Amino acid sequence: MQYMKIGKSGIQASVITLGAMGIGGGTWWRNSDDQESIRTIHQALELGVNTIDTAPVYGFGHSEEVVGKAVKGNRSKYIISTKCGLWWDDEEGSFRFEKDGHKVTRNLTAHAIRTEIERSLKRLGTDYIDIYYTHNPVCPPVMTPAQETVGTLMELKKEGKIRAIGSSNMTPDEIRQYTSLGEIDIIQGHYSMLDRNAAKEIIPLCREKGLPFHAYMPLERGLLTGKITKDYVVPAGDARDDSPLWKPGVFSRAVDFVDSLQDICQAYNCSCAHLAVAYLRAKGEDINVIAGARRVYQIEDIVHAVDVKLTESDVAEIENRIQKYNL
């Protein structure tokens, strides 16, 4: 495994992060097994993957609880990132979505952040969080001032409750605003072969600011694994249900694109999943890739992606094929 620095925090994180959204279960991710998830987290550490990304909203607390059970007794060996800002206590904030009986709002007030972190600390069974993200920026009608949000995070850092501050799903202007108000250590966002928007402005801005980028959904929820066929039907309410890539028409082209990568996979003796992660890592050593895993075999497989070093010409060829399939 390879490791990288997270901003100025002193944190050394594995370049592959175990994504724990699926571990939360619920209608987003059915058929989760808590004991298997715990074994997966333990095996990840054995393989050098010391970094876990979770959030309160993943299973409405359940993902954090499972992670907490898994790291018990070995807490100092893990780098845990979790988040604040998606709130379901009451209707304070701006409505975001409704899921599994909860109405979720975007809420980045000082009150909400301080309430959320105490609950996360309890669920995780720890007295500090390594990387604490704002999950989403605020949106109308409730626009909490960034000064309040970043100021609260800086206070929590001084209190020793968090080691590093991160922000997820931000626009370039929001990143500039946050970094002008406090010490932000990392930016998180969606980035994959099939969603390269982050490469246009966000990642260049991160480099300008000296910030690593935490890329989530590199496998597009399984679409880039090479195991999905055109007859696959997304279950109602599944986490993939709202992704445009899984909609008719686009989905068919995406499957054809993945199938077209077999010759490149053969050349590197790797799987499509490895190739998808390696593509992002080829875009910069400052890119940390979050790979979801809730089964031991999944984490045992994906770690091999760090050994796949793509040439510039093969990266260009992958991008030619993306364009060919109009993706």
Catalytic residues: 58
Q: Which two tokens stand for residue 134?
A: 């704002």
Report CA torsion sign: 128, 134, 140, 145: positive
Write the burial class of residue 322 (CB in 10 Å: 0-12 exposed, 13-18 middle, 19+ buried): middle
For residue 56, the one-letter residue type is: P
**Secondary structure (DSSP) of 85-105:** -EE-SSS-SEEEEEETTEEEE
Q: What residues contact 168, with CB distance under 8 A and at least 6 apart?
A: 83, 133, 134, 135, 136, 187, 188, 189, 214
Report DSSP state, residue 235. P
Helix, coil or strand: residue 241: helix
Tokens of 251: 């989905």
The rounded distance, in Å, linking the Cα atoms of 257 and 268 is: 18
Measured in residues, the chain has a length of 327
| Distance in angstroms (rounded) separating the CA atoms of residues 23 and 28 | 10
At residue 6, φ and ψ (nearest 5 deg) are -105, 100
Cα distance between residue 150 and residue 66, in whole Å: 28
SS (H, E, C) 122-172: HHHCCCCEEEEEECCCCECCECCCHHHHHHHHHHHHHCCCEEEEEEECCCH
Query: 274 with 261: CB under 8 angstroms?
Result: no
